[in-house]
Structure 1
Amino acid sequence: MSDQLIDNQTHRLSDAINTLIPHASAARFAVGYFFVSGFNAIADSIGQLDKLYLLIGTTTNRQTVEQLALGYRRREIIEEKLREQRFAPVDKALGETAATIRQHISELQPGGREERTISTLADLIASGRIEVRIHTRGVLHAKAYIFDYRTPQPNSRGIGIIGSSNLTEPGLASNTELNVQVDDDANIMTGEGLHRDLSEWFDKLWAEAKPFSAELMRELQESWALAIARPYDVYLKMLFEMVRSRLEDDSSKLVLPEEIPLAVYQKVAVHQAIGMVKAYQGAFVADVVGVGKSFIGSAVARHFYEAERRRPLIICPKTLQPMWEEYNTRWNLNAQIVPLSMLRESKAGDGSLTTELEKDKYQDCGFVLVDESHNLRYSDNDRYRVLNQYLGDGADRKVLLMTATPYNKSNWDVYNQLKLFHHEESTRIPVEPRNLREYFRRVERGERRLQDLLVHMLVRRTRWQLLRWYGYDEETDKPVDPGNFGPYLLEERRAYLKFTTVEGIEEKKFFPYRRLRTVEYCVDDVYGQEHGQALYAEIVKMLHRRKSTSPQLRLIPEEESDTQAEDPRALTYGRYGLYSYVMPERQRDQRYLRLVRAGKNLRGLIRTSLFKRLESSVEAFRKSIDRQVLVHKNFLTALDHGKIAAGPAAVRELEVALDDTEEALQDFMEALAEAEEARGFAYDIKDFRVKDLQRDIEHDLQTFEYIQSLVTKVKIPESRDAKLQRFLLDLLPSLMKNKKLLVFTQYEDTAQYVWDNLPTSLKQRGHLVTGDTENLQDIVRRFAPEANPAMDGSLPKGKPLDLVITTDRLAEGLNLQDCSQVLNYDLHWNPVRLIQRFGRVDRIGSRHEEIHAINFLPEQAAEKELGLREKLSQRIKEFNEILGMDSQVLDEKERINPEAVYAIYEETSGRHLGRFEGEDSLIGATLADAEEFFRDLRERDPLEYERIRNLRDGLRTARQSTEGAGKVLVLGKAGDFLRLYVRDLKDQPVDIDTIEALRLASCSPNELPSQLPANLNHVLTSVKLRLEKDVDDLWAQRKTRSNLTAGQRYVLDWLEKLKRERPVLDADGGIGKLSEAVSRTRQKRFQTGCDRLRRGQAVGEMLLRRVRQLYYDCGLHLERAAAEEEEVEMRIPRIVAVYALVS
């Protein structure tokens, strides 16, 4: 091949340029694309030129005429696109080209060669030896490299290279190009020749072009290679990038139906939730009670139906089914609605097990909303298994979980809910380690924080956060200053939220003030005395747990009893701790080892129930004792017949004995199932110390019978029940004066007892609600008609209700804000349940300025002269003594929280509950508040917001730090992938949470940068390699067939078979194109079509025709370009920010 032909195979363009530069005084380069990396190959020699004139095209417009012709077949469309490029605004062209160069610099490998090139290029521009202009009039498709000889000859003043190569690294060295070196061959007399012609051609374009040296110089000087940024700016850059997608998602694609009235904060939540669901297949909406989560959920469901044709399936507690059915009709959600109670297995006609969700009508549901999802926090029950199977069948269903309390007893509550949509253990959530189960194990060990994971998929705001970021001052009607929120917390000022009705009317809505009131009663006056002793104290002593009555019984350490049980009549709770009675040689048998944990759980739940019922009402306690007597008699009868009571009958018996709330029953049933193996395992009585067991059961039976004799109705009639009489005589008359009252109790027995003793006049104005109550929606509408209007505007049937006595069946989800008073008949140990109950009336937009919670508090006769705190301390002491070591098995709502107990009963203002309301949010303030900070900044100071938004990628800084010295924080990004890497200066990974790392990076705006560590580039090179590997792994995971539905895999198998066995059908590559589309798309409509082909057993050419029709009907031919662009973006990782902490 001639030396004058340059194809980058035999001869490289970079070699030709480096050869010519030493002989040239000046050069003119005209190229379509310019990238800094293109200078790498010629940077060392380019400085030998006196002047380089560099003319570049607008790198944002990369479409050539040929590329346009491929995309647009019609000539007039091609001409229109070219005209748009030719007359594009100059400022826009300059700005977009600068932005493209900026992005390219951010993608360069840190340190070394690239850093030197950027420095050299900046020096040459600064000295005026390189001048850059940009061709803005259309596409600069020509490429020319023109050199002026330093010592011109009469017939050769210079030389040129023209052809296809751009000033890029591939264009100079690796691409297959074709360029030709053209000699001048000038006329000696006239000087006319190719060099002069090329120079005149260039000079004409140069005169038309716009100066770009200053813009390019700015990009170089402010790039990571030359600038050390302010630590505060790098910190803000990191925060912004972590919430950028939530702030900048294309809102034009967000379908927000006008008929669903949403406040600004609700629209933000909808926006956030949709982004999270798209990123991770699911999300939590966990705003506190009373702020309209159901409106948010409805809007999200409607969006996915309108935008992606994903029909919603709404799963909710039975009590909320009427509400969702009304929303479904009112807002055209097109949803199927299934109560949680229907998530169970049942026998089909052929005897096989089936579930409600296996019915055909649910198969096309692609979006699942679970309301009050904390009811699915346990994985070992039917309803969880049924739903998890439905969500995990490969049908690409997206999930929204709604609950104010995602966390109850354990971090695993959150894990189980999370697994409903995050089916794989490996995760691309930016946490370390990248295995969910291992991450949760580390949370359990205190090595990780749950907040750092949930911040990526949980929307959670308290009422104070909403008012701080979205509120308006009542007096000035101006936005609340987030930095001066203290007066609102102290109730010195009041703020409201703005709502706009469907009719366009703006409304101000306030949160009502919370007011708490403690009502004391003497518990000794409830239970009376026996032989001069207060029965309450005597009963409490008997509820303690003592050691076995058998001195020979060996108790293992896990079964140690409480040391404070001194009363010889104290219970052994032997029925609920069977492991203690297993023969020593059988105690390590796997069948019995599981009884250790199960025994703790059962004892804790039984002891909790007995103690709380003792306080709740004498009737509830009386019935519990009656049931325990029956349970223990039955157990002894079974022993007499040579059996250990187990199996379904024993389970039902103990379930009745507990007769507790649904949550406690669920905990109890799981513990019992673990202990009793209710599905068929029978204990071998020979494996037990039967005499010891029988002795303890008989002892407990005697104690229960004795207690039973103390609390009969004859001894404690209703007229002697001081608590009941205080309620009926002292409280009800004043509370019911022209007001509504909602009375909560944890126990059905207490609710029925109170109801039965109401005067007839109040019963006519009231209603009792328990687990068996039907027509709940009618009761709700009669009690709160304003908050629950009928769609047709009709009034509720039946008399209006002013009083409702209820269990916690009404504590979830319902809007009862016509009422302003909640009375809690039972003692509260934890604020979670109080806040949940309060939330039925404590709602945004309440017409009541104040809402009141009245809480009963028992005191003993000897405590009447004590202060309130001393009385509370005594109750807390009793609770801890009775439960002892078993208290840890309790649900979070049932566990004692001393600080909260004091706040509930000592304070009269409910504003203090806010700090407990946020306790279960599980979300670190760093990113959640960062997002709100940037939203607020965008409104208050848009220029500063834009400055932060446009901070360039690759920013570097260093800051002195005593706590974090020696750590380097590196934020990497590729497409929608974002991960923070933390290394030490020896390039070893540092085991630290993202949120903790951001805390170390936080600083004031005034802090100056320190000198960058000497070996920083080495660390960054290693991190860049790890980032590239992580991105490659993620991309491979996205393309794997395991992410496809069964229908897609079926179609792919047939397409591959047709391509292999009938190649004539793939003569035009059509089958390959279809296979690529089937593998790529996650479009619900197409997946549903593939599933129908599988179920219909379509095969051969018929399947091919149907798939081809689906391909065009679903617009997959239009998705290809977008998918290719996504792949390009995803496969180019870059370092976004670097923050070194030095000593």
Structure 2
Amino acid sequence: MPKIYDNIENQLSTGLRETLALSQRGDFCIGYFNLRGWQELSDAVDGLAGMPVMEKDGEIFRTCRLLVGMQKLPSDLLKEMFFQGDEHIIDQAEMVKLKKKLALEFKEQLTIGAPTERDEIYLRKLSRQLKESKVVVKLHTRHQLHAKLYLAYSNDARVPVVGFLGSSNLTLAGLVKQGELNVDVMDQDAANKLSKWFNDRWNDIKCIDITEELIQIIDESWAADRLLAPFHIYLKIAYHLSREARAGISEFKLPRIFQEELLGFQQNAVLVAAHHLHKRNGVMIGDVVGLGKTITAAALAKLFEDDFHLATLIICPKNIIEMWEGYVHKYGLHAKVISHSMVQRVLPDLRRYQLVIIDESHNLRNDEGSRYRAIKAYIEENESKVVLLSATPYNKSYRDLSSQLRLFIADDQDIGISPERYIEKLGGSVHFTSQHTETFIRSIRAFEKSDFGDDWRELMRLYLVRRTRSFIKENYSGTDEVNGRKYLTFTDGTRSYFPERRPKKVEYPFDPQDSFDQYARLYSEKVVEMINDLELPRYGLKNYLLAKPVIASTPEEQTIMSNLSRAGRRLMGFCRTNLFKRLESSGYSFL
């Protein structure tokens, strides 16, 4: 009677290892091959001595042959192959195309989950086994092959071939976990028929060797058995961090008029912002003052008007309505401009605009305000995409940022990331859920619980486009060969040079003996003592606490009082210094 391996009473991995320990070589036919799952049999395969085996090119020494039957391939590629007749021979070009597609799938395996030391050890061992031809892997492409067959060959005269047949793939779940059904095949007539079945498919003309591709995938992954230069690690990090920006630059094309008018850094800002806007329905452009946020937003509106036929609503302060209307007219935007002060009256009855630009969005930091609620209600009702413009999006707290983002992000929306530093502080996701029972862990509300800058930087990476002058100067400017100064080149060829700040020391004389010399009087002991004697009660609240209070203070109150002492001394010194500087800059105003 065959023995059943269901991974409950008997584990298939144990049966295979015990059998391979008494064998010389093995043949495995599986539907799917998980690179990490190989660790369950890796040591056992290392112990195989190998045997000669007859293949289509003659006798060859083999240790372990692995036939993969259903590895994931792109559907169009599979259809193309299946519709070709059985007599179709795969040429070199087709083989290269197929191997590249398959390599991407195996490579994707290694990006899932956090790698462990055990994963690294056994992937390196698999690489070595492949290089030494101890393991050879082929892909069966004639048709999908869902069989799971494990054959072990030995010199035992009575039972030279042992088979295992059933449902388990060569994965950790298939070899160890419950829910499988496999049996051993000890009958030699049946075992030999299974061996012939395997050999027929191994020698099929549409069975291609992918051993070298697997070696390359492992050796170019995090499991590679080599030291990497820090610079290469830096490049890898930079590559992944810039993925969003690169996607935007390649995904969209600027309208021709803006190609002619925008500088290079402005064009890239539009394309990156377009990627965020299209993918996440909102973006914040936070370039510092003077870098052209307005024209960048106008170009973004024109791009979405041309590509997606979206009309634009522009909400801005009253004093720049005329400027925005000028942009609307100049670039032929299908847009309406209204001021912040008009939103409560206008928005409830306004037609649908699928794109909303909010200039000076930092004015909407208060999510309790009536203007904020009117704008948010309009955006939600019309499912509008949103462009936020502000050079100062952050003022007092991180809530300034989230309030603006929540104009287009629902409180319970899954944004794909969570505040990892804050969760780590609490002790893990379980503790977060227990403390914040009504807050989804991957929502913007979850980020509002965090005071960690790293969490907020990760959040804003998804929505913010922001550059500084120094960044533009370092990455987009040219250098004058004559004077070495940095400049930007406009479309007409003219250059705009970055100003150079050169601090200069200005010395002035004063006579301590001259009673009419204002600077001499400023530095006199009398003035210095007057400044030092200032009480500055607002900043010295510690001095006004009762020495023996009637009611004992709580621990929280004691902490506040001790902070008053430290902060008070610093602030008082700061005020005295500033006053002295003010006197020095304009003595006539005070003396």
Give TM-score scaled by structure 1 length. 0.36
Note the C-alpha offset of 1:16: 4.5
The 3 A distance-change label for structure 1 pair 162 and 329 is: farther
Is the contact made by 1:442 and 1:448 (CA closer than 8 Å) also made in structure 2? Answer: no
Unpaired stretches in structure 2, ≥5 consecutive residues = 50-62, 424-442, 502-534, 542-577
Provide Cα deviations, 1:642-678, integer angstroms capped at 9, x if missing partner. Answer: xxxxxxxxxxxxxxxxxxxxxxxxxxxxxxxxxxxxx
Secondary structure, aligned partner of 2:29: strand
- 1:147 aligns to what? 152
Distance 1:510 1:493 in 2: 11
Note the C-alpha offset of 1:873: 4.2
Residue 205 (structure 1) aligned with residue 210 (structure 2): no
Is the contact made by 2:419 and 2:455 (CA closer than 8 Å) also made in structure 1? Answer: no
Secondary structure, aligned partner of 2:255: coil
- 1:248 aligns to what? 247
The 3 A distance-change label for structure 1 pair 508 and 877 is: farther
Residue 510 (structure 1) aligned with residue 495 (structure 2): yes
Note the C-alpha offset of 1:424: 3.8
Secondary structure, aligned partner of 1:42: helix
The 3 A distance-change label for structure 1 pair 289 and 360 is: closer
The 3 A distance-change label for structure 1 pair 560 and 437 is: farther
Instruction: Give 1:118's match in structure 2, choosing from 119, 123, 126.
Output: 123
- 1:369 aligns to what? 357
The 3 A distance-change label for structure 1 pair 117 and 290 is: closer
The 3 A distance-change label for structure 1 pair 85 and 321 is: farther
Note the C-alpha offset of 1:359: 0.8
- 2:65 aligns to what? 53
Is the contact made by 1:86 and 1:138 (CA closer than 8 Å) also made in structure 2? Answer: no
- Counting only pairs closer than 5 Å after superposition, residues 461-472 of structure 1 correspond to structure 2 as 461-472=467-478
The 3 A distance-change label for structure 1 pair 381 and 132 is: closer
- 2:21 aligns to what? 22
- 1:271 aligns to what? 271
- 2:236 aligns to what? 237
- 2:522 aligns to what? none
Is the contact made by 2:25 and 2:153 (CA closer than 8 Å) also made in structure 1? Answer: yes
> What amino acid is aligned across from residue 257 of structure 1 in structure 2?
P
Distance 1:414 1:83 in 2: 63
The 3 A distance-change label for structure 1 pair 258 and 271 is: same
The 3 A distance-change label for structure 1 pair 169 and 458 is: same
The 3 A distance-change label for structure 1 pair 62 and 25 is: farther
> What amino acid is aligned across from residue 103 of structure 1 in structure 2?
E
Distance 1:275 1:288 in 2: 21
> What amino acid is aligned across from residue 511 of structure 1 in structure 2?
S
Note the C-alpha offset of 1:184: 6.4
- 1:420 aligns to what? 407
Distance 1:43 1:413 in 2: 54
- 2:348 aligns to what? 358
Is the contact made by 2:123 and 2:218 (CA closer than 8 Å) also made in structure 1? Answer: no
The 3 A distance-change label for structure 1 pair 331 and 83 is: farther
- Counting only pairs closer than 5 Å after superposition, residues 1111-1130 of structure 1 correspond to structure 2 as none
Number of residue pairs the alignment of both structures matches: 484
Residue 91 (structure 1) aligned with residue 78 (structure 2): no
The 3 A distance-change label for structure 1 pair 251 and 323 is: same
Distance 1:438 1:214 in 2: 43
Provide Cα deviations, 1:397-432, integer angstroms capped at 9, x if missing partner. Answer: 432112334456887765654453456499846574
Secondary structure, aligned partner of 1:511: strand
Secondary structure, aligned partner of 1:166: coil
- 2:489 aligns to what? 497
Provide Cα deviations, 1:40-97, integer angstroms capped at 9, x if missing partner. Answer: 43334333322112233583417599x97xxxxxxx9973799999677333433443
Is the contact made by 1:135 and 1:210 (CA closer than 8 Å) also made in structure 2? Answer: no
Distance 1:257 1:52 in 2: 59
Distance 1:396 1:89 in 2: 46
> What amino acid is aligned across from residue 172 of structure 2 in structure 1?
E
Note the C-alpha offset of 1:387: 2.5
Distance 2:358 2:86 in 1: 51
Residue 401 (structure 1) aligned with residue 388 (structure 2): yes
Note the C-alpha offset of 1:558: 4.4
Unpaired stretches in structure 1, ≥5 consecutive residues = 69-75, 345-354, 476-486, 500-506, 517-554, 562-828, 830-869, 883-1143
> What amino acid is aligned across from residue 83 of structure 2 in structure 1?
E
Note the C-alpha offset of 1:198: 2.9
- 1:341 aligns to what? 341
Instruction: Give 1:129's match in structure 2, choosing from 120, 126, 134.
Output: 134
Note the C-alpha offset of 1:194: 1.6
The 3 A distance-change label for structure 1 pair 358 and 438 is: same
The 3 A distance-change label for structure 1 pair 64 and 92 is: closer
Note the C-alpha offset of 1:316: 1.9
Distance 1:241 1:114 in 2: 23
The 3 A distance-change label for structure 1 pair 339 and 42 is: same
Is the contact made by 1:32 and 1:141 (CA closer than 8 Å) also made in structure 2? Answer: yes
The 3 A distance-change label for structure 1 pair 85 and 180 is: farther
> What amino acid is aligned across from residue 338 of structure 1 in structure 2?
I
Is the contact made by 1:55 and 1:206 (CA closer than 8 Å) also made in structure 2? Answer: no
The 3 A distance-change label for structure 1 pair 876 and 398 is: farther
Is the contact made by 1:43 and 1:117 (CA closer than 8 Å) also made in structure 2? Answer: yes
> What amino acid is aligned across from residue 493 of structure 2 in structure 1?
K
> What amino acid is aligned across from residue 25 of structure 1 in structure 2?
Q
> What amino acid is aligned across from residue 365 of structure 1 in structure 2?
Y
Secondary structure, aligned partner of 1:54: strand
Note the C-alpha offset of 1:224: 3.6
Is the contact made by 2:398 and 2:456 (CA closer than 8 Å) also made in structure 1? Answer: yes
Instruction: Give 1:169's match in structure 2, choosing from 167, 172, 175.
Output: 172
- 2:110 aligns to what? 105
> What amino acid is aligned across from residue 29 of structure 1 in structure 2?
F
The 3 A distance-change label for structure 1 pair 105 and 438 is: closer
Note the C-alpha offset of 1:27: 1.3
- Counting only pairs closer than 5 Å after superposition, residues 971-986 of structure 1 correspond to structure 2 as none
The 3 A distance-change label for structure 1 pair 163 and 282 is: same
Distance 1:293 1:409 in 2: 23
> What amino acid is aligned across from residue 420 of structure 1 in structure 2?
L
> What amino acid is aligned across from residue 295 of structure 2 in structure 1?
F
The 3 A distance-change label for structure 1 pair 358 and 22 is: same
Distance 2:389 2:538 in 1: 38
Secondary structure, aligned partner of 2:296: helix
- 1:758 aligns to what? none
Secondary structure, aligned partner of 1:205: coil
Instruction: Provide the alpha-carbon RMSD of the alignment.
Output: 5.1
Secondary structure, aligned partner of 1:151: coil
- 1:33 aligns to what? 32
Instruction: Give 1:874's match in structure 2, choosing from 557, 560, 585.
Output: 585
Is the contact made by 1:32 and 1:140 (CA closer than 8 Å) also made in structure 2? Answer: yes
Note the C-alpha offset of 1:374: 4.1
The 3 A distance-change label for structure 1 pair 128 and 419 is: closer
The 3 A distance-change label for structure 1 pair 165 and 220 is: farther
The 3 A distance-change label for structure 1 pair 20 and 309 is: farther
Distance 1:64 1:3 in 2: 41
The 3 A distance-change label for structure 1 pair 139 and 248 is: farther
Is the contact made by 2:364 and 2:372 (CA closer than 8 Å) also made in structure 1? Answer: yes
> What amino acid is aligned across from residue 400 of structure 1 in structure 2?
V
Distance 1:276 1:84 in 2: 46
- Counting only pairs closer than 5 Å after superposition, residues 584-983 of structure 1 correspond to structure 2 as 873-875=584-586
Distance 1:402 1:31 in 2: 55
Distance 2:94 2:70 in 1: 12
Distance 1:58 1:169 in 2: 17
Note the C-alpha offset of 1:335: 3.0
Distance 1:241 1:84 in 2: 41
Secondary structure, aligned partner of 2:65: strand
Distance 2:76 2:30 in 1: 13
